Chain A
Amino acid sequence: MEIKFKTLVAPEIKRGCLMGNMFNALGSLWKGMKITIYYLTHPSTVVTQQYPENRETLKMMDRFRAQLTMAHDENGHHTCTACGICDQNCPNGSINVVDRKNPITGKKELDRYIWRMDSCTFCNICVQVCPFGTLEMKGNFEASVYDRRLFVYTLNKYAGPDQKNLLKIENLDDRKKQMESRDIFGGPVPLSGQSIAGLEAGVFDQLRKTEEAATNG
């Protein structure tokens, strides 16, 4: 195979006369000054957010990565097939994909999608490797909680077949039967049936509601 080389000549630095250099320098300084005065005279260029005050109207950037979520369509179906590629690719083991056999069909399906926020670096690899486009990074950055265990999320809202297999079932009631509800903090890993001091019963429902409001809105 013949390789063609292209000759590159380094551009020569032009050194003008003293006066020429001086006026060039003044010109380039003026260019910079024009940019800064534009910013000063146009308050719309300010990017600072007055955060706690504008909490109601704050809109995060689309690409901001603060929380891993699983996309659910309008019927509440997700597209996760429990293939575990994200689990294998996660650099710090923050993802656990727990699968199970469907009690009726015997096919492999998702039981729990466990994501540990406390060890996550938000590298976005899981989102990129997912062949089904199930995962999504959302901009909900208000993640502080009073108990470390609340950093362990169950991302799927039901255990059962993915969207494709669910849509094959014609009867809506049969579909519902296949979908076993999963709580966002209710998994075996985080709380293991314990209660957290200061949190009353039913708090998970509330947390889930705020979570949903934050991720949808």
Chain B
Amino acid sequence: MNWEIKTVAMFASEALREGYLGAAGYIILGVVAIAGFLAVLGMVLIYAERKVAGHFQCRLGPMRVGWHGVLQTVADTIKLFLKEDIVPFQADKVLHILAPLFTLLGTLLVLAVVPFSPGMQVADVNIGVVYVTAVGGFGVLGILLGGWSSNNKWSLVGAMRAGAQIISYEVSATLALLVVVLFSGSLKLSDIILSQEQGWWIWRAPVVGLVGFVIFFIASTAEINRTPFDLPEGESELTAGFHTEYSGMRFAFFFLAEFINMFIISAIAATLYLGGWMPFHIGGLDGFNAVMDLLPPGAWFAGKTSFLIFVLMWFRWTFPRLRVDQLMRLEWKILLPIGFVNLIAAAFMVMFGWYYGN
């Protein structure tokens, strides 16, 4: 089957031949689409998280606003809009105001390259994987700034923890990403997906794919500060960590970025290891592949991503939080060595062609 990749950026560049106006229209379309998607997805994820968390803990979750509480997040959003926005006395005002925007910006920029389906992507950058890693690191800048500018010891400790944690775990996550880059031979996200037409890398690269996926998933969970790696927030020790002093919309920005990051790492993990929007194909079985193609690619992407999001929620409501030393030990003594061995093994496998469908 021939997949035709269309992105908003392509349309914009085509329209540029006619004039600036059309191109600007497409760019605005892309931005509005991402912003709208961000807002809606944030609300849906928060509702889903609360509902799932409730049932994980023998509770019901939100039940009062709307049918089974479906309007609860809408009500919460309105509340956050109307709340007073407090900047603490003697805080660095400019940085305090900028910090949540930086965090949200990192999230927003990654969202621009996430391939939802062959015809639904804002931009298909040819260095997609590098872009995702680089821009994803933007979030920590916002967290550090927020913690520092708040002029509060809890905030500062939380922000420093976040900095140490994210910088450490970024290494493992990137090493795990490189495995897929080696196998697919491209940094472009659409090329990586197309290279999985004969099967997803998680099983086509025996053992190495699975190990890489697990390392990437754990490291990314730590990178977005989710339980069991939520030390930067650590309610029991640091009140709320880096966003102790934030309220109203600025707090909502941090919160939103956290939830959208959850979507992003699920989407990236699905794209790299589980074939993104590519249906489940087994190389050689054309009849089986044709049956799998009946489902549209967008549905495959949504299914894989929501499954991974559910696993993240499952982690969060089951595991206890790590200690700081345990966190660092897990990264530098366990994940990183395994990641290196995995990468070298992957390099040999690519060199000698030891993987399925070669």
Contacts and interface: CB of A to CB of B under 8 A. Distances in A.
Contacts of A35: 318
A31 to B, nearest CB: 10
A184 to B, nearest CB: 35
A36 interface: yes
Interface in A18-33: 18, 22, 29, 32-33
The size class of the interface chain A forms with chain B is 10 to 19
Given A32-B318, A36-B317, A46 B60 contact: yes
B67 to A, nearest CB: 13
A43 B314 contact: no
Contact of B59 (A33, A36, A48): A48
B167 interface: no
B319 A32 contact: yes
A50 interface: yes
B51 to A, nearest CB: 10
B176 to A, nearest CB: 17
Contacts of B63: 50
The size class of the interface chain B forms with chain A is 10 to 19
B203 interface: no
A163 B315 CA distance: 60
A22 B55 contact: no
Contacts of A46: 55, 58-60
A192 interface: no
A47 B314 contact: no
Given A32-B318, A32-B319, A33-B318, A40 B59 contact: no
Given A22-B334, A50-B63, A37 B58 contact: no
Contacts of B334: 18, 22
Contacts, number: 36
A29 B227 CA distance: 13
B314 A37 contact: yes
Interface string B42-79: 00000000001011111110010000000000000000
Contacts of B315: 33
B333 to A, nearest CB: 8
B60 A40 contact: no
A51 to B, nearest CB: 11
A205 B90 CA distance: 64
A47 B319 contact: no
A39 interface: yes
Interface string A41-58: 001011110100000000
B314 A29 contact: no
A33 B52 CA distance: 13
B314 to A, nearest CB: 6
Given A39-B55, A40-B55, A43-B55, A48 B60 contact: yes
B45 to A, nearest CB: 17
Nearest to B60: A48
A40 B60 CA distance: 10
Contacts of A18: 334
A40 B56 contact: yes
A37 B60 CA distance: 15
A36 B60 contact: no
A39 B315 CA distance: 14
B321 to A, nearest CB: 13
Nearest to A38: B56
Indicate the member of B52, B58, B314, B334 with the most A CB atoms within 10 Å: B58
A39 B58 contact: yes
A72 B319 CA distance: 51
Contact of A45 (B52, B58, B319): B58
A54 to B, nearest CB: 12
Contacts of A37: 314
Given A45-B58, A47-B59, A48-B60, A40 B319 contact: no
Contacts of B55: 39-40, 43, 46
Interface string B298-334: 0000000000000000110111000000000000001
B334 to A, nearest CB: 7
A124 B8 CA distance: 71
Contacts of A47: 58-59
Contacts of B57: 39
A50 to B, nearest CB: 7
A32 B57 CA distance: 12
12 contacts: A32-B318, A32-B319, A33-B315, A33-B318, A36-B318, A39-B55, A39-B57, A46-B55, A46-B59, A48-B54, A48-B59, A50-B63
Given A18-B334, A47-B58, 11 more contacts: A29-B319, A32-B319, A33-B318, A36-B56, A36-B318, A39-B58, A40-B52, A46-B58, A46-B60, A47-B59, A50-B60
Interface of B: 52, 54-60, 63, 314-315, 317-319, 334
